[in-house]
A and B are shown apart, each in its own frame.
Chain A
Amino acid sequence: MSAREDILGRVRAALKGTVAIGAPGSPEVAAPTDLDSHAARVDAFRTRLAAAEGHLEVVADEAQAAAVLSEVVSQARAKRIAVSDAPLVAKLTRGLEGVELVDAADRAGLLAAEAGISCVQHAVAETGTLVLETHSERNRLVSLLPPLHVALLHADAILATLGDALAAVDPGGAGSASRAVTFISGPSRTADIELKLVVGVHGPRELTVLLIDPRTRENAP
């Protein structure tokens, strides 16, 4: 008998007489309900991202985003910058001066890059989490290998809860999720040596989110 048949047979024998049950109730267990408005979601996202030691820069439009991006990059003294293949990343990095852009497919270049720039498909207000899908862009290594990850996020992409994000990555539970979906909350960290927190172990030491929120302009004095 194959291992498959054997194991399934043992499982079936073990379950004989067991009544198969459905899990009762809705999957969304008392999720935070105070995140209904856009402003509340942006606010919660800010707070949680800060708690996870991520930085946030809010800009009103893409022009401002490009300006802030160039500041962030020069402050980090990043000369080699790894970029995903998202159109927005290409657009915002076009004006960067004195830097070398490294393509996401260039393994050796990625390993030597000092900063990585990608977009973010969704974010979660409840936890300050970024959600990156691979079918939208090549973001897997750009967001991981360099010591600084700059993530571009549209305010409309901030969802309230983890449940909303899971629904968004696989609409209708149809199995249409990206081959890889990465959830990111803050920089890479470890406490494996005497429980002392150290950021930037295998992944980025710094995470900066550029939040593009046109509503900030309307609210500006």
Chain B
Amino acid sequence: MTHLHPERFGENARAALGDEVLRGALRKATGLFGRQRGAAVAEMPEWEALRERARAVKAEALASLDVQLERFEERATANGIQVRWARDATEACEQVKAIAERLGRPTIVKSKSMATEEIRLNEHLEQAGHRPVETDLGEWIIQLAGETPSHIIAPAIHKTKRQVGELFAEKLGIPRSEDERELTRAARRALRHSFATAELGITGANFAIAETGSILLIENEGNIRLATSMPRVLVALVGIEKVIPRLCDLQVFLRLLPRSGTGQRLTSYQSLISGPRAGSGDEGPEEMIVILLDNGRSSVLADNSLRESLACIRCGACLNACPVYRQIGGHAYGSVYAGPIGSVITPGLQGLEKTAELPFASSLCGACREVCPVKIDLPALLTRLRADVVEGRAPGQGQRPRRPRRIEKAAFAFWRWLASDPVRWTLSMRVARLAQRAGLDRLLPPARAWRKGRALRPFAPRSFRERWKEDDRRGR
């Protein structure tokens, strides 16, 4: 995959800023989702209470995660589900590969899942000679094109109708079309064939319910329903943070999630799946396997402040609201998780070694916190990670610490010294003004580096304090 390099955030972001098609599409998508969200939230007077409740349920689930996981395992097993555990991406991929191998060379249908993208399951399966087929329309388009998603809800948003038409003409051998209905019908036909012959279905899950041992999947297209109904074997890859205590908790999340993501009251489909078929008179898979994935989550859990980020329900609202994401899109973050939450969980899961730029990809305006349905304090978490970067700490455990940025520490110490004394402060502002006028701020090496991605506003000709004093003298 070409884009998964968080350490190249700056480079990626610059490339994105030069891509007019991408920026136009992002403007449209984030604007539309944002407006629709606003309308959907406005008709819910109880919105704040729902958010509080959702946050409380997630906090409860995370604070008792071991108990919830054990309960889920016990109930799911009683329902006939095989529950497996995977410490990391490699283990999870190997487990799925072993299942595929056991089935011979099965047709594999996949539905969109962040967890499978996080562990790069497709690459892993392809290396072993399997050909998993993505079945979400957007995911399928980018799979055909050999690309990665640019938006959590609309993965192929960076592609125009014309590009999709050309892609389908080339890969499916159908006449070129620029009609979205025509193109969607072509996709339906092609993917129906995959579904009809599929022996293995691979999905993620939006929630795992401890009380009943079930998983819940949310979608609009119907491909998840197909992938969980038609193949003989179903594998669901579920991050350990997805578990919630009770079935009734779902009503809170079902009210919040679609409204936050796309502004829909509810998506077209929710599938609550509690086990394989119960005898020959039943429909659905004969065999169902749930893989519980850690892959860094327990380290995030160990970090008292970052723990909050595990409450994320992946609605995408913070991406749509983020002024940085709106400009650069998902590719720039170099991770499957983009936007404000991506800048928190990518360092959380991978450590700061390669992701140190991400916490700085934010203006800390707070728009993400405002829209988050589980009230994650994203700006606080970003600030905390920035401090980690500057001071060379590692979030969670098991990550190698970065070298402290001595110059940054020294700069803050100097600033503290200046700002803590009125005379020093006033003087320094005058010096800064003169220095800026002389263009010194562009010459000094640390300032030059800092200014590469930023524009500094010119200092005001007179400071507020100076104007106040003058006005005072004039007797105003």
Contact = CB atoms under 8 A, between A and B. Distances in A.
B271 A166 contact: no
Given A11-B298, A173-B247, A51 B265 contact: yes
A161 B248 CA distance: 11
A1 to B, nearest CB: 10
Given A175-B78, A198-B181, A189 B221 contact: yes
Interface in B98-155: 135-138, 141, 154-155
Given A11-B301, A193-B156, A201 B66 contact: no
A200 B187 CA distance: 11
- Determine the main DSSP class of A at the interface with B: loop
A194 B247 contact: no
Contact of A198 (B70, B180, B251, B277): B180
Interface in A177-215: 177-196, 198, 200-204
Contact of B187 (A177, A187, A189, A201): A201
Interface stretch (A13-21, A65-73, A75-83, A86-94): A13-21
A145 to B, nearest CB: 8
Contact of A140 (B59, B265, B278, B283): B283
A141 interface: yes
B85 A2 contact: yes
Interface residues of B, number: 98
Contacts, number: 252
A221 interface: no
B313 interface: no
A161 B46 CA distance: 14
A193 B164 contact: yes
28 contacts: A3-B84, A7-B69, A7-B292, A7-B298, A8-B69, A14-B299, A15-B65, A20-B63, A27-B251, A30-B46, A52-B265, A162-B254, A162-B255, A167-B248, A173-B248, A175-B79, A181-B274, A183-B272, A184-B268, A188-B220, A192-B138, A192-B154, A193-B180, A193-B183, A194-B161, A201-B137, A202-B225, A203-B221
Interface of A: 2-4, 6-8, 10-15, 18-25, 27-31, 48, 51-52, 104, 107, 111, 127, 129, 134-135, 138, 140-141, 144, 161-163, 166-167, 169-170, 173, 175, 177-196, 198, 200-204
